[in-house]
Structure 1
Amino acid sequence: MKNISKKQPFEKEINGRRMRYCIKYNVRVNREGTYAYKEYDNPNFNGPLNIHTRTDGFKYLNTKSHGEIPLDETVAICFKPMPQDGKKYILIHKDGNLGNCHAANLEWKQVPKFSPTDTKRKLDNGLKVRVDGTVYNMRKKLRVVTSVGDADTDRSCVAVEPYVCYDRKNMYKSMEERHSMMDNLMAEAEFVEGDKSMLRRPKVLHKDQNYLNFNSSNLKWVEEDSQEYQDYMKKKREDMDALTIKGNPGHPNPLMKF
């Protein structure tokens, strides 16, 4: 029997079930992870595949062309693809039941890049970030920029999202200034508490509502629409407005509100 060679439609109905095609293993599965199907050049050989179960509950398919095929991975490829962002991920079952291969129960969890005991971590951009929220470039501690001037509006101080500046060579071998947001650096260094892969729209929350406190003990992942994050953002906007007002004494409209 020859495996089917022509291009397959990604999704179609088979035996009353909506099935998706997994190109990696050349089989079809349903969202529930309860039915698998294989097609051949000769449709007379088409048919469902047996789902085997190990003693620990792990389920797999078995074909001559690919051998043992993990059912959970096949379902995830079809219904919850792994993020393609260059990071490493492992597939987990949310409820801990290896036999539950429903797409809703599967999640790609990022594999930590750093040891949890590392108090300073070097990022891909060459910066070193410490657990207390300080950032170094070539052993030099970088100043966190919290405000800038705005000559167009005659303001000497405008609060901005905190960032650090550093120089790097560009493609033309000349030095250019680059900026990195502090929250992003702490997140990349894995100094933010929690697992953002389990959230729909993860955001970094400062627990004490001080947006300038970047100590790792003060940071955690939360949902963007959570009440605690909305409260934090409200306080953050108020604090940034206060900084802008304080930095522009005598200005008739420091917040430029009309």
Structure 2
Amino acid sequence: MSIIVVTGTNTDIGKTVVTAAVAALARAQGRRVVVLKPAQTGVGPGEDGDAQVAAALAGADAVELARYPEPLAPATAARRAGLAPVGPRDVADAARKLATEYDLVLVEGAGGLLVRLDGAGGTLADAARLLTAPVLVVAAPALGTLNSVQLTAEALRARGLEALGVVIGCWPDRPGLAERCNVGELAEMAGAPLLGAVPEGSGGLAAPRFRELAGRWLAPVLGGEWDAARFEAESAPDAVAGPSGPDTATAVAG
């Protein structure tokens, strides 16, 4: 895979940190990696956006196509700022060009799959369709996530897009009953494998420590060593000890 589109089931669920972890593992394999952010919102001039944060954690490069000051959906933020929006074709053209220079291009969306990029209703899903690229879904583990994951999966299937898998973006150190129960159903709702669980707070780690631990959080298909079956067994509501053990505790503590 030379291009992967990363989407979330919502905003603020760890999408940027998951993108960074995927990038870090690809970099560890010696691959040239760039994080492409089509539209960054809610960040001022001179501040690091999502692409810059992910790239710094992973040791990768970052490209941002547009930036809008207000923390809104890209289409709305562009309109209110009086700036040109970034449409799906702009995203696809940029990703294809970067794919001639890099071994892996990670296209990180804004919020969910169908958040509007422009006034014509273009979305990240439209960009993925133009690219025929697989989509990695980042989900929260908490109550309500199963519905969001299934809706995202249905939207992908309706457009003929491949769901690469689902990653839990912010696994808590002390998961509650809802989180534990949801783990066993996420893959079914997504119609794609569970490919990882990134501990909550991992984005606050120093970059060297982040890169050292990233392989513990993601499955082999993404370059890591994380085992879905083991994680699901340890997460089960009746399990004696949950997966908030050595790996998670170490990651959060740094």
Query: TM-score over 0.5 for the alignment?
Result: no
Higher normalized contact order (CA 8 Å, seq sep 6+, divided by chain length): 2
Q: Which structure shows the higher strand fraction?
A: 1
Q: TM-score range by the shorter chain?
A: under 0.3
What's the TM-score, normalizing by structure 2?
0.21
Q: Which structure shows the higher helix fraction?
A: 2
What's the TM-score, normalizing by structure 1?
0.21
